[in-house]
Structure 1
Amino acid sequence: MPVPMPTRSTSPSPTKMPIRHRISLTGGGGRVRTATLGMALAALASLGAVPADASTFQVNPVVLEVPAGGHNAVFTIRNSETDPVSVRIRLFRWTQRDGEDVYEPSEALIASPPILTIPGSGSQLVRVGPRGAALSGAYRVILEEILPPPVEKGQVRLALRLNLPLYIMPQKGAKAMLRWSGWRDAGGKIVLQAQNDGTRYQTVVSIGTVAAANTEVPLSARFGVVLPGGTQRWSVGAHPELSGNGPFELSIRGGDGLETRAPVTLGPR
């Protein structure tokens, strides 16, 4: 799952002022990471811009599911600042093509409320679900902060943008079925691909290969989601020790903490 990032707007006429505000980003694992604006916008120094304003809000939970036969998913937005914060909710269909995530605006879902203002230190309950007929599949719920007008000329404003996965389950007992393959790209690096032939999404938090004495050699710690009927790819480096023609065994750890193993033979691409 992709990591939520702040968006930014800049002004050509900077104004020097203290950097005291903070940005809070909620990742797919549910942890909240906080960084000062000075750290988050160090790259703006070359533009001569100085941050002046930002808001902070968190969302819980950060992974949304509508169970089979359910009507909606519910989450809470909490404003940890003293000033009100306004948020717009946008909904997208989420598919995967050739190992890449694809987002398409969707009218099949409805968010209630779609636009909201949360008072300082307040919270708001939000529901997202199918607009009408029975629905299944993967979606993205994107929360965008609506910034108020700047109070001073030359301010740099930050708008938070959080991207949450929403899974509408097709049936009870749905399971993922990952089929693994691999090849070397033009630069000689190994690319591993997981194809999901099942009916439930699968998260992958780490991939390794099983070496001698049943020890595991790490290949990738990049988080990924494989949707039903979709594919996800990991570039894991050259690893010349895996240059033989025979298969090697992968050790895959999922988001549920379970480990599975799968043989892979590097083939042509």
Structure 2
Amino acid sequence: MHSSSWRRPAVRYGLLAAALLGTGGVQAASSVLIWPIDPVLEADQQASALWLENRGNDTANLQIRVFGWTQSGFDDQYQNQRDVIGSPPVARIEPGQKQLVRLTRTRELPPGSEQAYRIIIDEIPPAKRPEDASADGKTSAAIQFQMRYSVPLFAYGAGLWSKEDASRPRDPKSAGVPELSWRKVAEGGRSYIEIRNRGAVHARLTDVTVRQGGQLRPVAEGLMGYVLPGATMRWPVPEPLASGQELVLRVNGAPQTQSVRAGQ
């Protein structure tokens, strides 16, 4: 079991699959499909559903845990918590079969607040087979690879929401939005983009570019990362940023990119 607080979870057997972007599900080399990849717990929901499907040829043994997710020191930190429980905690899924994981909240959040969690799904390596033993009876050395999936989960208190849902007609203007600002930072001989979120909900940042004089220079194609409410995060850039540059990015999958104001 992990300690009560830890930084970005290490991948113990070598490979990380982060289910952070896209639509539908996410599928990696282990052939486990996960959907939705952006589950939420609305203020009036006691539980939400996460589906795991085994599209491979071997049985998948998975451990499911839900950690509290915060950000400090420009890094993600995960903590043990009991406010949202994933059930079952362990799943054995035969080829071609699906497993429902129920994400159940045990307490309500304060009105107008968002709480972030990470659903960590670890593939449990199978037990060694008798044929894996060498001629002298000793188990032969082999590298065991484990897949780890990390799925974000956001829960809301009364009066706040951020994800559109066709089954819940709501005025898009009432959705919670991030409030972002940025600055360039030079520290320890490296250059960074630092982004602060003063809004009520998280910001998922994709397709990040800097613009100067009508020219766009990509910083991160696809996902750069998240900034949770009240947090400040930074990302390295390969070369110092010139003065007068504008930061342009896409927030939470919006159809259009937006400019982020400078200054913190």
Do the structures match in fold with TM over 0.5? Answer: yes
Conservation of the 8 A alpha-carbon contact between 1:4 and 1:161: no
What is the CA-CA distance between 1:103 and the residue it aligns to? Answer: 0.6
What is the CA-CA distance between 1:146 and the residue it aligns to? Answer: 2.3
- Give me the whole-angstrom Cα distance separating, in 2, the residues matched to 1:130 and 1:163: 19
Conservation of the 8 A alpha-carbon contact between 2:50 and 2:100: yes
Structure showing greater radius of gyration is 1
Percent identical residues: 24
RMSD of the TM alignment (CA)? Answer: 2.9
Conservation of the 8 A alpha-carbon contact between 1:190 and 1:239: yes
Tell me the alpha carbon deviations over residues 19-45 of structure 1, each in whole angstroms, 9 at most, x when there is no partner.
xxxx9946422475656xxxxxxxxxx
Q: What aligned pairs does 1:1-269 form with structure 2 within 5 A after superposition? A: 7-8=12-13, 25=17, 27-30=19-22, 32=26, 55-134=30-109, 136-151=114-129, 152=132, 153-154=139-140, 155-170=142-157, 171-172=160-161, 173-187=175-189, 189-212=190-213, 214-221=214-221, 223-239=224-240, 242=242, 244=243, 247-254=244-251, 255-264=253-262
Q: Normalization by structure 1: what TM-score?
A: 0.73
Q: Normalization by structure 2: what TM-score?
A: 0.75
- Give me the whole-angstrom Cα distance separating, in 2, the residues matched to 1:165 and 1:236: 25
What is the CA-CA distance between 1:168 and the residue it aligns to? Answer: 0.8
Structure 2 residues not aligned, in runs of 5+: 1-6, 133-138, 162-174
Taking a change above 3 Å as real, the CA distance of residues 216 and 93 of structure 1, as seen in their structure-2 partners, is same
- Give me the whole-angstrom Cα distance separating, in 2, the residues matched to 1:262 and 1:96: 20
What is the CA-CA distance between 1:138 and the residue it aligns to? Answer: 0.2
Task: Output the amino acid matched with 2:248.
Answer: S
What is the CA-CA distance between 1:111 and the residue it aligns to? Answer: 1.0
Task: Output the amino acid matched with 1:138.
Answer: A
Conservation of the 8 A alpha-carbon contact between 2:32 and 2:53: yes
Conservation of the 8 A alpha-carbon contact between 2:197 and 2:227: yes
Q: How many residues align?
A: 227
